Chain A
Amino acid sequence: MSHYNEMYEHDRVREPYARLREWVDTMPDDFRQMKQAEAEALFRRIGITFAVYGEGGDPDRLIPFDMMPRVFEQAEWRKLERGIKQRARALNAFLRDVYGRAEIVRAGRVPARLVFRNEAYEKSVVGVVPPRGVYSHIIGIDLVRTGKDEFYVLEDNCRTPSGVSYMLENREIMMRMFPQLFRQNRIEPVDQYPELLRRTLESVAPAKCDDRPTCVILTPGHFNSAYYEHSFLANLMGVELVEGQDLFVDGEFVYMRTTQGPQRVDVIYRRIDDPFLDPLCFRPDSMLGVPGLMDVYRSGGVSICSAPGAGVADDKAIYTFVPEMIRFYLGEEPLLNNVQTWTLWKDEDYRHVMANLPDLVVKEVHGSGGYGMLVGPKSTKEEIESFRKKIEADPANYIAQPTLSLSTCPTFVEQGIAPRHVDLRPFCLCGDRIELVPGGLTRVALREGSLVVNSSQGGGVKDTWVLSE
Chain B
Amino acid sequence: MKLRISHETVYGYDHPIRNLVQSLRLTPSVFEGQKTHEWLIEVSGGIRGPGFRDGAGDWIEGWTVRGPTDEVSVRISGRIETRDTAGVLRGHREIIHPTTYLRDTKATRADKGLEALAAGVSEAADTLDLAHRLSAAVGEAIAYRPGVTEMHTTAAEALALGEGVCQDHAHALVAVARLRELPARYVSGYLHSTIDGESHDAAHAWAEIHVEGLGWVGFDAANRCCPDERYVRLGSGLDAVDAAPIRGVAMGNGAERLDVAVQVEEIAQ
A residues neighboring B (CB under 8 Å): 99-102, 105, 112-113, 115-117, 119, 121, 123-128, 248-252, 279-281, 284, 291-292, 294-296, 298-301
- A99, A112, A115, A291, most chain B CB atoms within 10 A: A291
Selected interface stretch from B43-51, B138-146, B188-196, B225-233: B43-51
Instruction: Give the distance to chain A from B264, nearest Cβ to Cβ, in Å.
Output: 26
- Complex: A251 Cα to B103 Cα, angstroms: 33
Q: Is the CB of B100 within 8 A of A296?
A: no
| Nearest neighbor of B101 in chain A, beta-carbon distance | A123
Q: Is the CB of B103 within 8 A of A301?
A: no
Instruction: Give the distance to chain A from B22, nearest Cβ to Cβ, in Å.
Output: 8
Question: Is B95 close to A, CB under 8 A?
Answer: yes
Partner of B103, one of A119, A284, A296, A298: A119
* Pairs of residues from A and B, 10 with the lowest C-beta to C-beta distance, nearest first: A126-B55, A299-B50, A292-B21, A295-B62, A291-B249, A127-B55, A280-B23, A291-B21, A116-B100, A299-B52
Q: Is the CB of A127 within 8 A of B95?
A: yes
Q: Is the CB of A292 within 8 A of B23?
A: yes
Q: Is the CB of B64 within 8 A of A116?
A: no
Question: Is B80 close to A, CB under 8 A?
Answer: no
Q: Is the CB of A113 within 8 A of B248?
A: no
Q: Is the CB of B55 within 8 A of A112?
A: no
Which residues of chain B are within 8 angstroms of A102 by Cβ–Cβ distance?
97
| Residues of B225-269 whose CB lies within 8 A of A | 238, 241, 247-249
Q: Is the CB of B241 within 8 A of A284?
A: yes
Question: Is B153 close to A, CB under 8 A?
Answer: no
Which residues of chain A are within 8 angstroms of B180 by Cβ–Cβ distance?
none
Q: Is the CB of B55 within 8 A of A124?
A: yes
- Complex: A124 Cα to B47 Cα, angstroms: 23
Question: Is B86 close to A, CB under 8 A?
Answer: no
Partner of A124, one of B19, B54, B66, B241: B54
Which residues of chain B are within 8 angstroms of A252 by Cβ–Cβ distance?
49-50, 62
What 8 new A-B contacts, CB under 8 Å, besides A249-B49, A249-B64?
Answer: A121-B100, A124-B55, A251-B64, A279-B247, A280-B247, A291-B249, A292-B23, A299-B62
Which residues of chain A are within 8 angstroms of B100 by Cβ–Cβ distance?
116-117, 121, 123, 126
| Residues of B49-65 whose CB lies within 8 A of A | 49-52, 54-56, 60-62, 64
Instruction: Give the distance to chain B from A189, nearest Cβ to Cβ, in Å.
Output: 42
B residues neighboring A (CB under 8 Å): 19, 21-23, 47-52, 54-56, 60-62, 64, 66, 95-97, 99-100, 102-103, 238, 241, 247-249
| Nearest neighbor of B248 in chain A, beta-carbon distance | A280
Instruction: Give the distance to chain B from A153, nearest Cβ to Cβ, in Å.
Output: 28
Partner of B99, one of A113, A251, A292, A298: A113
Instruction: Give the distance to chain A from B64, nearest Cβ to Cβ, in Å.
Output: 5
Which residues of chain B are within 8 angstroms of A295 by Cβ–Cβ distance?
23, 49-50, 52, 60-62
Instruction: Give the distance to chain B from A233, nearest Cβ to Cβ, in Å.
Output: 28
| Nearest neighbor of A283 in chain B, beta-carbon distance | B241
Which residues of chain B are within 8 angstroms of A105 by Cβ–Cβ distance?
97
| Nearest neighbor of B20 in chain A, beta-carbon distance | A291
- Complex: A279 Cα to B242 Cα, angstroms: 11
Interface CB pairs A-B, < 8 A, 23: A112-B99, A124-B54, A126-B55, A126-B56, A127-B55, A250-B19, A250-B47, A250-B49, A251-B47, A251-B64, A280-B249, A281-B247, A291-B21, A291-B248, A292-B249, A295-B52, A295-B60, A296-B50, A296-B62, A299-B50, A299-B52, A299-B62, A300-B50
Which residues of chain B are within 8 angstroms of A124 by Cβ–Cβ distance?
54-55
| Known contacts A284-B247, A291-B249; A123/B96 CB under 8 A | yes
- Complex: A183 Cα to B248 Cα, angstroms: 60
Instruction: Give the distance to chain B from A121, nearest Cβ to Cβ, in Å.
Output: 7
Q: Is the CB of A292 within 8 A of B62?
A: yes
Partner of B66, one of A99, A116, A250, A301: A250
Which residues of chain B are within 8 angstroms of A294 by Cβ–Cβ distance?
23
- Complex: A112 Cα to B101 Cα, angstroms: 12
Which residues of chain A are within 8 angstroms of B102 by Cβ–Cβ distance?
116-117
- Complex: A356 Cα to B141 Cα, angstroms: 49
- Complex: A117 Cα to B19 Cα, angstroms: 35
Which residues of chain A are within 8 angstroms of B19 by Cβ–Cβ distance?
248, 250
